[in-house]
């Protein structure tokens, strides 16, 4: 049985949601980043971490891709153009949304106080809004890579919730509707209640 380490208030929410979508059995260890429980499986101390038998996989994207490919769900098949387009969305969401939020978090509470540059947050908020406007303008179907959700939708939906918690500007209406649709999925609701 899979073991997913990391509490749902972190990027661990992403694989938790996918595991719920897949309907496969798993154990959840809701450990905090850098905790002993995390370091016991991954010296990096970052979450999420997936333990599959004797194998340990770190990084939410590696875990999502592994699970989606292995179970043939939430992804287009590897080696297809549809998959390449899906992957382009994944990397774009990481570059343009996740990285912006992560930099803001680092300068808010993660870096040692003397290394924080609080003023950078205003610039990041502007960049975030600009990037979301462009993404919203390119959303031509219900989800990023077609009408059914795939890996990049898990990442973008997670980031949109993260942005709200971090008091970033509200997303364009198109993405608010997109997030509302994804949040009504029973698997999302189960993961959110963990
Ligand atoms: N790219 C990694 C980032 C993992 C990451 O930085 N996770 C945060 C929690 S969301 C963490 O564990 N931070 C602790 C640290 O940076 O030491 C992923 O997507 O899993």
pLDDT at 55: 97
Report the residue among 9, 16, 47 best suited for mutation to probe ligand 1: largest number of ligand atoms under 8 A from its CB. Answer: 47
| Residue after which a domain boundary falls, among 51, 74, 97 | 74
Tell me how far the alpha carbon of residue 61 lies from the centroid of ligand 1, in angstroms. Answer: 11
Closest residue by Cα to residue 49 from 107, 77, 102, 7:
7
Smallest CA separation from ligand 1 atom 3, residue: 59
Helical H segments across 13-76, by residue range? 13-22, 36-39, 60-71
Domain extent, residue 25, equals 2-74
pLDDT at 126: 98
pLDDT at 93: 98
Let me know: does 18 contact 66? Beta carbons within 8 Å. no
pLDDT at 50: 98
Pairing, β 55-58 against β 26-29 = unpaired
User: Would you say residue 38 lies in a domain?
Assistant: yes
Low-confidence ranges of the chain (pLDDT < 70): none
Number of domains in the chain: 2
Other Cβ atoms closer than 10 A to 185: 15
Let me know: does 118 contact 107? Beta carbons within 8 Å. yes
**Does the C-beta of 60 come closer than 6 Å to ligand 1?**
yes
pLDDT at 47: 98
| Residue after which a domain boundary falls, among 74, 102, 130 | 74
User: Would you say residue 120 lies in a domain?
Assistant: yes
Cα(14)–Cα(93) distance, integer angstroms: 13
């Amino acid at each position: 049985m899979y073991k997913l380490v990391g509490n749902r208030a972190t990027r661990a929410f992403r694989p938790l949601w996918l595991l719920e979508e897949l309907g496969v059995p798993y154990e959840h260890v809701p450990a905090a980043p850098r905790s002993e429980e995390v370091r016991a499986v991954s010296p990096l101390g970052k979450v999420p971490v997936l333990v599959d038998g004797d194998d340990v996989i770190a990084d939410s994207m590696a875990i999502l891709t592994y699970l989606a490919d292995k179970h043939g769900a939430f992804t287009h098949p590897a080696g297809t153009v549809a998959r390449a387009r899906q992957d382009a969305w994944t990397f774009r969401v990481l570059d343009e949304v996740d990285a912006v939020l992560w930099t803001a978090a680092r300068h808010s509470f993660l870096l040692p106080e003397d290394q924080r540059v609080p003023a950078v947050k205003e610039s990041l908020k502007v960049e975030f809004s600009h990037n979301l406007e462009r993404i919203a303008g390119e959303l031509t179907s219900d989800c990023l890579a077609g009408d059914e959700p795939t890996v990049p939708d898990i990442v973008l939906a997670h980031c949109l919730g993260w942005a709200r918690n971090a008091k970033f500007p509200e997303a364009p209406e198109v993405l608010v509707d997109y997030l509302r649709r994804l949040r009504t999925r029973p698997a999302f609701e189960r993961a959110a209640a963990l």
